[in-house]
Amino acid sequence: MQTLIQRTIARAGRGSQPGTTGRMRQLATVRWMLATEDGRFVSIDDRAAVSLIHEPGQAAVYDGRDNEDLKRRFMEALLKVPLTVVILDGCDGPALDSPSANHA
């Protein structure tokens, strides 16, 4: 079963061939970030130090070209806290993608 972010990415890539510039442009329109259940967001500073912050405007933002499951699991291991994918655009509005759905 696909998660919300996987369905959003698949929808964005429809109608283009894999590996093409057109597909990459379409996937780049799906933007997402990682957040905790208590409202903190993953941030990466200019020295590649990862931390949790309360200001969403300073959080690390990824796009549909990134592997959301791999990034989420990596950041969870670094920060030792469960994370959720938050879709910023490329869908009908901001949406949470439950971490438990990623393990189903």
The number of domains in the chain is 1
Residue 87 located in a structural domain? yes
Inter-residue contact 58 to 91 (CB < 8 Å): no
Residue 67 located in a structural domain? yes
Residue 42 located in a structural domain? yes
> For 24-57, what is each residue's pLDDT tens digit?
998 888 999 999 999 999 999 999 999 999 999 9
The residue segments making up the domain with residue 55 are: 4-97
> For 63-94, what is each residue's pLDDT tens digit?
988 889 999 999 999 999 999 999 986 444 44
Residue 50 located in a structural domain? yes
The neighbouring-strand residues paired with 34 are: 85
Scanning the structure block, which residue is given the tokens 């093409």?
20
pTM for this predicted structure: 0.76
User: Residue 76: which H helix or E strand, with range?
Assistant: helix 68-79
